[in-house]
Each structure stands twice: as C-alpha cells, then as structure tokens.
Structure 1
C-alpha cells in the first residue's frame, strides 16, 4: 500500500489500482489528493478535515465516488447532492467494519477531543485501514484489540499539548509513525515537536519519520 501525505491531515492510499483518501480538508491539496479516487473517509466535520465545497464538486464530477463520514457530514453531503441513490454517501459509526473500495476499514472513537467547554463537541471517527494504518482524526483514542503497524500522529492542535502527543505515540506503540495535523506550526516549531516525539517514541519501539506534503512511502 502506498501512502502519500498532503498538507495537514489529508492522506491518499493506493493499492492494486484502488485509491482511498482520508480527510481532504481546506488546508490540503484536495483536487490532487482526490484525482482518480474511488472512496473518501472523513473523520469529522471541521473544515481542515472536510472541505465541503470541493468534495461536493468531486462527487458531482464522479458518480462512482463513495464517502464514509460521521452522520453530520454524511447528511450535509446528501442534502447538497440531492442524492437518493444508495451506496454513495455512508454514515460511519464507531466499532464498525466496512469494505471500502477494496480496503478493509475498522472504526474507533466517536468523539472529537475537547477544545474548550464553550466550543461544542462533535463526532470524530478514527479509521484503521487494512489491518495496518491508523488515522485518528482529531482524537487520541487508542484503538483496542488490534496491533497498529503505522500510526498517523496529530502533532499539534488547539485541543492538544506535546505531552499528550507523546503519550498517544507511546500508548499505541506502532512500529512506525508519520506526522499529520501540522499546518498550524512553522518549521521551527514542527521540528521541535517532532524531535520530542521521535526521541521518546523511539524508547517504546516507534520509529518516527517526517513526511513533506506530496511525499509518498510504501507501507
């Protein structure tokens, strides 16, 4: 499986001719990420993970494109599309398994991390893909009952601090990890946070590596 990272939290997965995209949001290169995609997974409704306008455009351009997302996102897309045809927009829920465009997907979580009591909580789904890769969205939910080989790590957010990022990595104990949710940091800040994650994560068996936007790795 080939993974390509885009700016912030968006990744593109390719396997045996199938393409799955996770969280094409407003900070990301959405058109490039979605080119030729067969399905999209959305973790939650915030714009940096869900660019509604560009995803609606992609769905209108390609009637075979499928989306899995929490209920709020799925409902918004269905209303925009006026789409009564089953099989295009699916509501993703926690503790479920889905076959999506040739990828096997298991869901975890259910709730976005707390930003502030005055900011409403929204649903958030973490996706475990093909028994290997975990994209948590905006949460530090540690998936239970599975072994994660590759972890995508939200390294900076309004809802987190660096100690929590490190604890997430050391709790999951994946063999390797790459950063996501990094668009709010400048280069110096990103290097600082990543150095802590790499050093302490390494003590627990996780090899952390930075990926630039557009860079790909084989998993």
Structure 2
C-alpha cells in the first residue's frame, strides 16, 4: 500500500489501483479524484473535511462511499452528502481496504469549546490515522500517522500517547499550525519516542511512502 501525504491531515492511500482518501480538508490542495473508492473523515472540523472536497471526489467517482462518525454525517447532510456512520469498534471493507474504527471523541481544546465526535481509522490492520485524538487502539499499530501540531496538542502528552502505541514506524501529519522551526522541534521529540526501536519518516506534502 502506498501513502501519499498531502497538506495537513489529508492522506491518500493506494492499493491495487484503488485509492482511499483520509480527511480532505480546507488546508489541503484539491485532491486528485482518480480511482477513489472511499473517503474516511475522522471528524467534522473544516481542516479535516469540506463539502467541496467531498463533492469533487463523488462527482468523479459516483460509487465511492463516505465514512465517518455521526457528527460528520450531520455536518455534510445539508450538502446532500450521505455518510456511512461509524464509531468505536465498527469495521468496513471498501474496495481492497479493510478498515476498523477506534475512539469516539475529539481531544479537548478548551472547556469553552464543545467536544465533538472523532473516530480514528486503522487501515489493513497496519496504518492508524487517529484524527484529533489520543486514541490507543486495543490492537498493535505498525505505522502511525502522528498529529504533530494543533491547538489541543501538548508535546509531552503526544510523546506519552506515541509511547503507549509503540509503532514500528511513524510519520508526522497535522503540521499546518507550526512554523518550520516548530515542526523541527516537535519531530525531534517524536524521534525520541519512536526511534530507539522504530523509524520516523518526514513526508513533505505530495511525498509518497510504502507501508
């Protein structure tokens, strides 16, 4: 399976000619719609999904499915986008991709800001994209797409979360809120946790890796 990291939280997974799009939000370039069988949205914040991104994908791929928690279904309903609602413990098969879903709530940003639905996705039992939450799946995670900068993120808590998952490989995502200096600092802390036994790969937007 190939993973192409786009800007911020969006990733495109390719396997056997089919493509799965994760979290196409408003900080990401228009996603290439070729061969998309599904879109997984972890939560309804606009940096993770916009109706325009999803509508472009569905217009080019009428058979593609959109999957996400109930809050995503509510957010996209006014635009006529049907969402297959999932939550913690659910599973789906989309084209060649086997998906299991983990977690149900977004991390707390501030006591004044409501906590919304957030459900991470584990793809083919290997690659975990958590959305905006420190969810630790009850199964091993080989490759972790690691949020590295966010209003809800404190680097010490992030390090503890990554240590609890103990992935063999990790790559940072959700970096648009950081300066170049800040990204370097946070990636350094990520390496401290992962690299004694595993590997961290830093992907620029548009870069592809194989998992």
Q: Distance in 2 between matches of 1:76 and 1:56?
A: 13
Q: Distance in 1 between matches of 2:56 and 2:17?
A: 23
SS of residue matched to 1:9: coil
SS of residue matched to 1:30: coil
Q: Distance in 2 between matches of 1:79 and 1:57?
A: 16
> Is the aligned partner of 1:55 residue 2:54?
yes
Q: Report the TM-score, using the length of structure 1 for normalisation.
A: 0.91
In structure 1, the residue matched to 2:133 is 139
In structure 2, the residue matched to 1:91 is 85
Q: Distance in 1 between matches of 2:87 and 2:30?
A: 24
Q: Which segments of 5 or more consecutive residues in structure 1 lack a partner in the other structure? A: none
In structure 2, the residue matched to 1:39 is 38
How far the C-alpha of 1:61 sits from its partner, in A, is 4.1
Q: Distance in 2 between matches of 1:212 and 1:152?
A: 13
Q: Distance in 2 between matches of 1:43 and 1:133?
A: 14
SS of residue matched to 2:14: strand
> Is the aligned partner of 1:14 residue 2:14?
yes
Q: Which segments of 5 or more consecutive residues in structure 2 lack a partner in the other structure? A: none
Mean Cα displacement is larger for which, 134-143 or 56-65?
A: 56-65
How far the C-alpha of 1:6 sits from its partner, in A, is 0.5
Q: Distance in 2 between matches of 1:197 and 1:24?
A: 24
TM superposition outliers: structure 1 runs of 4+ over 4 Å: none
In structure 2, the residue matched to 1:66 is 65
Is the 8 Å Cα contact of residues 169 and 206 (structure 1) preserved in structure 2? no
How far the C-alpha of 1:40 sits from its partner, in A, is 0.4
How far the C-alpha of 1:78 sits from its partner, in A, is 3.9
Count of residues in correspondence between the two structures: 211
Q: Distance in 2 between matches of 1:106 and 1:62?
A: 23
How far the C-alpha of 1:173 sits from its partner, in A, is 0.6
